[in-house]
Structure 1
Amino acid sequence: MAQHDGRPALLTTQRVRLRQWRQADRPLFAAMNADAEVMAHFPAPLTRAESDTLVDRCAAEIEAQGWGFWAAEHADSGVFMGMVGLHAVHASLPFAPCVEVGWRLARPWWGQGLATEAASAALTWGFDALGLPEVVAFTAQSNQRSRGVMLRLGMQAAGTFEHPLLPADSRLREHVLFRLPAAAWRERAETTPHPRKA
């Protein structure tokens, strides 16, 4: 994996900016994480304390290594939309070690291709700046919306697995796994504009 220069990355596309977290993001992120529809494919909505802990963890990871799950904002208006980025897969998962791409946007931003656009920027940066050989994505079997984003990113379905961090009787325990090798991404990138770096 390529070495990063230590500065937190800032990625921009035509409509999205991925950046380090700010204090002002916290109440907006907490409201999003308390939305039952946004959290329908997670075990439960998050409390404010749980949401703030997640922000702390994401911000610390970006500060330490230059990348992670970034705060996502609308590039023109600066309005906070959610989080998008890259994250080292939990060691307990059967396909670890590797890096995942993930996203979570507030409902007003759904259905506009923003998750795909932002995740594409994160993938390009991961493959180009970090030299990742592959990136994965996974979600609950029932999450058709996220599976659609994975397909639009050019990721390939790679089977299912039982998520070990969820109870055996959880309706969400069965997950789908998607993979995207660097070579496949670069083939697609020949006809796809790269995100601007700032």
Structure 2
Amino acid sequence: MARIFGDAHVRRFYPKVLTVEETNVRINLAIERARTEGFHFQAAELKGSGELIGLIGLGVLSEWVQAANPSHRTVEIGWMLAKEHWGKGLAPEGAREWLDYAWSIGLPEVLAVTAKENAPSQRVMQKIGMTYDPAGDYEDLRLDEGHWLRPRVVYRKRNPTS
């Protein structure tokens, strides 16, 4: 994961790359959140080989995102794959499995949030049947005014059985 989180191209829609130490903190947080929440972003592996290719999963939205737009539901879906695995349909495949899990535990809706400029992630959101919600857009207030990553877009998908 440190190689993936440390790759400037993979992280081009994030404010910075992560160090090994920061990656380890993220991994420990994911383990803790999975234990307390029942789910969180998890390692994604290729089925045949078990090769680590990134992460995919569900996560409870951070408090600052919920504060930026209180109408947001509390669970998001997300992914980050090593660049050598882009364009193979792996992000949508894994995300669909996580959506199935979300519906199986009775979540009424799942959000996806990304930088406005992140067209590749928005394409994945569309491929998994999410709908763009312009009313949910907000700004990442952790970034300076005018920062190109500050505008955020929101996609939603409702539980089909709700």
- Aligned counterparts of 2:73 and 2:145: Cα–Cα separation in 1: 23
Q: What does the per-residue CA deviation read over 1:5-31, in whole Å, with 9 as the maximum and x for residues that have no partner?
A: xxxxxxxxxxxxxxxxxxxxxxxx001
**What are the equivalent positions in structure 2 for 1:163-174 lying under 5 Å apart?**
163-174=140-151
Matching of residue 122 in structure 1 with residue 98 in structure 2: yes
- Aligned counterparts of 1:133 and 1:179: Cα–Cα separation in 2: 11
Q: Give the conservation status (yes or no) of the 8 Å contact 1:102–1:119.
A: yes
- Aligned counterparts of 1:172 and 1:136: Cα–Cα separation in 2: 18
Greater relative contact order (Cα < 8 A, sep 6+)? 1
| Number of equivalent positions | 156
Q: CA deviation at 1:41?
A: 0.1
Q: Give the conservation status (yes or no) of the 8 Å contact 1:133–1:181.
A: yes
Identity %: 33
- Aligned counterparts of 1:87 and 1:164: Cα–Cα separation in 2: 20
- Aligned counterparts of 1:170 and 1:55: Cα–Cα separation in 2: 27
- Aligned counterparts of 1:126 and 1:102: Cα–Cα separation in 2: 13
Counterpart AA for 1:44: K
**What are the equivalent positions in structure 2 for 1:10-21 lying under 5 Å apart?**
none
5+ unaligned residues in a row in structure 1: which ranges?
Answer: 1-28, 188-198
Counterpart AA for 1:88: V
5+ unaligned residues in a row in structure 2: which ranges?
Answer: none
- Aligned counterparts of 2:142 and 2:41: Cα–Cα separation in 1: 20
Q: CA deviation at 1:62?
A: 1.4
Matching of residue 45 in structure 1 with residue 17 in structure 2: yes
Q: CA deviation at 1:65?
A: 3.2
Per the alignment, residue 54 of structure 1 pairs with: 26
Per the alignment, residue 18 of structure 1 pairs with: none
Task: Give me the TM-score of the superposition, normalised by structure 1.
Answer: 0.75
| 4+ aligned runs moved over 3 Å, structure 1 | none
Q: CA deviation at 1:97?
A: 4.2
Per the alignment, residue 56 of structure 2 pairs with: 84
Root mean square deviation, CA, Å: 1.5
Partner SS state of residue 72, structure 1? strand
Q: CA deviation at 1:67?
A: 1.2
- Aligned counterparts of 2:72 and 2:156: Cα–Cα separation in 1: 12
Task: Give me the TM-score of the superposition, normalised by structure 2.
Answer: 0.91
Q: Give the conservation status (yes or no) of the 8 Å contact 1:90–1:96.
A: no
Per the alignment, residue 182 of structure 1 pairs with: 159
